[in-house]
Amino acid sequence: MDRSDSGAVGVVTARTADVGATYRAALPVAGRRVAVFGSGGPALRHASALLNAGAVVTVVGTSVTPALADLAARDLIGWCDRDFRAADLDEIWLAVAATGNELVDRAIADACSNRRLWCLRDNGPSRRAGGAGRVVLVGGGPGDPGLLTVAGSEALRSADVIVTDRLAPLSVLADLPGHVEIIDVGKIPFGRAAAQEDINRILIERASQGRIVVRFKGGDSFLFGRGGEELLACEAAGIPVSVIPGVSSALAVPAAAGIPVTHRGLTQGVTVVSGHVPPDHRSSTVDYRALAAAGTTLVFLMAVTNLDAITTALIGHGMAPDTPAACIADGTLRTQRVVRSDLRGIAAEVADHGMKPPAITVVGAVSRLSEQQLASTYSDGGSVVGHRGLDV
């Protein structure tokens, strides 16, 4: 392959695992069509890594996991809800056979071989001998794999089982050893959701088998992440459990858009709020009168659907309608988008621009600070520097 015509923005490391001797190669997949055959954990980790490397990914498989369905719903990947057809190999540069069915994977690999098309095979996990089982709750950061902590990364590398959410940096899963079992329990807002009790049961069952289980989440496990519930469930079951904190989207996503949540002379605090229910909902426990008067930056998570009701309540309780506001979707990812307005207009702007979750809305004077004003406060060299986002 010629790197020059693709821009070679991203690479993926390939192993020809089924042909005896292996050869590792970096493939310039950026901008090129690739197909992943399968619908479970192995398909998820390859699709995520290829997506992160800039490939145009189509997943072919029935009953896909929640995280794959979520990537398709956000138009980040294509999804054909059916089994493999030979015509799927037309016009792609690379195939991944990860159906979990040895015969089907072999048929895909043979069809690729006939066309001189590279095919990676992933046979999924094989059990390692058991020792003492335990659970590690790993906060994965807001999405950019560069924001996964060193400790989190090491925990993933030593895991036998990874129980993952959809907002964790999924592309890092592709580099893990083949024996690792990946279980996707991603919760999609208003969509398919694994019950928390089922997730707790999976963690406890797998750890009871003597396996090292990593619970892998977006951001930090203890900020709207149900990490506390999982910690208590493991402790109640007598399973050793530890916590590796993560970089929370509540702070990192505004930062990636050039918004410091506090700024000397502008605000002395920040309040992080879940907007998953509107202010007048019977299960809302947030005091919007106090929020409107707090004088801190307000950071709303899970608030896209209820943004109009939230901003109306804040204005109704006396907050100035011209308070600056910004909404950031897909923060730290290459698809990051930012809209800026004021409290009065932000909900309409978000709707007009078709902003979808995951998104964070920041309300307060800091939302008006531009990247140019802040340029001197950032250092170059971090992977996030390139992800400041498209102001739309």
Ligand X SMILES: C[S@@+](CC[C@H](N)C(=O)[O-])C[C@H]1O[C@@H](n2cnc3c(N)ncnc32)[C@H](O)[C@@H]1O
Among 331, 339, 350, 363, binds ligand X (CB under 6 A): 331
Residue from 165, 184, 330, 342 carrying the catalytic annotation: 165
- 218: contact with ligand X by CB under 6 A: yes
CB 333 within 8 A of CB 143: yes
Whose CB is nearest to ligand X?
219
Phi and psi angles of residue 70, each rounded to the nearest 5 degrees, phi first? -65, -45
For ligand X, the closer CB: 171 or 332: 332
- 326: contact with ligand X by CB under 6 A: no
- 367: contact with ligand X by CB under 6 A: no
Helix, strand, coil shares, percent, the chain, to 5: 30, 20, 45
- 220: contact with ligand X by CB under 6 A: yes
- 181: contact with ligand X by CB under 6 A: no
Among 125, 142, 186, 279, binds ligand X (CB under 6 A): 142
- 389: contact with ligand X by CB under 6 A: no
For ligand X, the closer CB: 70 or 342: 70
- 219: contact with ligand X by CB under 6 A: yes
For ligand X, the closer CB: 182 or 359: 359
Tell the smallest beta-carbon distance from residue 48 to ligand X (Å): 14
For ligand X, the closer CB: 250 or 270: 250
For ligand X, the closer CB: 40 or 141: 141
Residue from 302, 319, 342, 355 carrying the catalytic annotation: 302
Tokens of 268: 């002395």
Query: 220 catalytic, yes or no?
Result: no
Q: Segment near ligand X (CB under 6 A), from 21-29, 101-109, 288-296, 322-330? A: 322-330
DSSP assignment of 316-355: HTT--TT-EEEEEESTTSTT-EEEEEETTTHHHHHHHTT-
- Name residues contacting ligand X, limited to 237-266 (CB under 6 A): 248-250, 253
Closest CA to 310 of 293, 330, 286: 286
- 54 HSE (CA, 13 A, CB side): 12
Query: 5 catalytic, yes or no?
Result: no
Q: Would you tell me how many other CB atoms lie within 10 Å of the CB of residue 285?
A: 7
Among 10, 61, 225, 389, binds ligand X (CB under 6 A): 225
Residue from 187, 319, 342, 355 carrying the catalytic annotation: 187
For ligand X, the closer CB: 34 or 251: 251
Q: Would you tell me how many other CB atoms lie within 10 Å of the CB of residue 153?
A: 16
Tell the smallest beta-carbon distance from residue 1 to ligand X (Å): 31
Q: Which amino acid is at 98?
A: A
CB contact burial 125-146 (16+ within 10 A = b; e otherwise): beeeeeeebbbbbbbbbbbbbb
- 167: contact with ligand X by CB under 6 A: yes
- 200: contact with ligand X by CB under 6 A: no
Tell the smallest beta-carbon distance from residue 38 to ligand X (Å): 25
* Dist. CA 186–CA 176, nearest whole Å: 19
Closest CA to 357 of 237, 239, 212, 253: 253
Pairing label, strands 297-301, 359-363: antiparallel
* Dist. CA 221–CA 212, nearest whole Å: 18
* Dist. CA 50–CA 57, nearest whole Å: 7
* Dist. CA 257–CA 391, nearest whole Å: 9
Query: 1 catalytic, yes or no?
Result: no
- 88: contact with ligand X by CB under 6 A: no
- 332: contact with ligand X by CB under 6 A: yes
For ligand X, the closer CB: 138 or 313: 138
Pairing label, strands 134-139, 241-244: parallel
Active-site positions?
A: 165, 187, 302
Residues that bind ligand X (CB under 6 A): 142-143, 167, 217-220, 223-225, 248-250, 253, 301-302, 328-333, 357-360
